[in-house]
Amino acid sequence: MRPYDVVFDQVLTRVDPERIHHAAFRAIRAAGPVTGRVVRVPSAPVRALGLTFPHPLGLAAGFDKNAVGIDALAALGFGHVEIGTVTGEAQPGNPRPRLFRLTDDRAIVNRMGFNNDGAEVVARRLAAWRATGRSTILGVNIGKSKVVPEDEAVRDYEKSAGLLAPHADYLVVNVSSPNTPGLRNLQAVEKLEPILAAVRRRADEVRPDHRVPLLVKIAPDLSDDDVLAVADLALSSGLDGIIATNTTTSREGLATPAEKVAAIGAGGLSGRPLTKRSEDVVRALRTRVGPGLVLVGVGGITTVDDARRRLAAGADLLQGYTAFVYEGPLWPQRMVTGIVRGLTTDG
């Protein structure tokens, strides 16, 4: 058993998960200058979205919602960092408690509700960060503000895109969190299409000299037919990629006692229970879209074997979050080393 496992099982599991998250993130940021000199990961460049990623593994949105620790997270070994979800308006998120561990399943349930500082504040923060000349590949994940009615979602996404596209290496439209009322309704093609068109148009207006790649993040709970419909929309609308998948509302097949799961209540489930469905979605998407569209595999990637299977299913890039929480700060380094070794062996 690794030292982190002992600390996690004996100490961290006894403290509220959200408090631990903030404390751990502060420690990561404080250690960033040292981490960058100590942690070394092998290189396996991936050309995607018009960018050269140092290797396939990045950090999924949700960990750094407000763009306060981009370089410190990259120093741990992540090849790209996706911040957010950022909304047009600042919002506190849902009432606490809103983050829960299912340790028997190596999973997390969250109903954070897009708590973030809002697009205007995050944009200023990113402008200051860019001014330092940092080179971490940055994705910016944008979502709908809770106070904005569903029929005004286009305007809200457009606002965020206008503020944040100038600082992003790629943009992600998030319509797949289960924690904002009505958000997942926007995955329907007839509602998603105008959002994507508005975000694309606004990003081009604020970056006339450079086309910012645009992706959409989808839920694992979409039916197979709806997954294929999103794939077709991505092709017809000139989307650059799809991130598959977000968290699930399903609670099927969990090892955690049913009464504990019921007591936790609503929220998106992430971690190992998503492994198979997320892999299946990536495989279905790749079969549908062919080789031209970038697919980012996320959901239940814990081991090197998980990563290799997701790449084999058709993912160009990978992201993790829940495994980072359970496996500790050395997880990115271990994963990248194993992934690169596998790519070298296969090659």
Active site residues: 177
The verdict on whether residue 271 carries a ligand-binding annotation is yes
DSSP single-letter state for residue 60: P
C-beta atoms surrounding 217 within 10 Å: 27
The verdict on whether residue 300 carries a ligand-binding annotation is yes
Structure tokens at 318: 């990978």
The verdict on whether residue 247 carries a ligand-binding annotation is yes
The CA R_g of the chain, rounded to the nearest whole Å, is: 19
The verdict on whether residue 62 carries a ligand-binding annotation is yes
The verdict on whether residue 112 carries a ligand-binding annotation is yes
The verdict on whether residue 144 carries a ligand-binding annotation is no
C-beta atoms surrounding 24 within 10 Å: 16
Cα first-last separation, the chain: 32
C-beta atoms surrounding 250 within 10 Å: 14
Going by C-alpha positions, the residue among 79, 83, 77, 81 that lies closest to residue 46 is: 79
The dihedral built from the CA positions of residue 129, 135, 136 and 138, taken in this order, carries a sign that is: positive
DSSP single-letter state for residue 72: H
Going by C-alpha positions, the residue among 49, 42, 80 that lies closest to residue 344 is: 42
63 three-state secondary structure? coil
Length of the chain: 347
The verdict on whether residue 287 carries a ligand-binding annotation is no
At residue 260, what is the residue type? K
Burial 264-273, CB ≥16 within 10 A → b, else e: beebbbbbbb
The verdict on whether residue 116 carries a ligand-binding annotation is no
The verdict on whether residue 265 carries a ligand-binding annotation is no
CB 243 within 8 A of CB 61: no
Residues 6+ apart with CB under 8 A from 261: 102, 251, 254
The verdict on whether residue 65 carries a ligand-binding annotation is yes
The verdict on whether residue 110 carries a ligand-binding annotation is yes
Structure tokens at 207: 């970056």
The verdict on whether residue 179 carries a ligand-binding annotation is yes
CB 208 within 8 A of CB 234: no
The verdict on whether residue 174 carries a ligand-binding annotation is yes
Q: Which residue ranges make up the annotated binding site? A: 61-65, 85, 110-114, 141, 174, 179, 217, 245-247, 271, 300, 321-322
Cite the annotated binding site for FMN by residue number.
Answer: 61-65, 85, 141, 174, 217, 245, 271, 300, 321-322
Q: Which positions make up the binding site for substrate?
A: 65, 110-114, 174, 179, 246-247
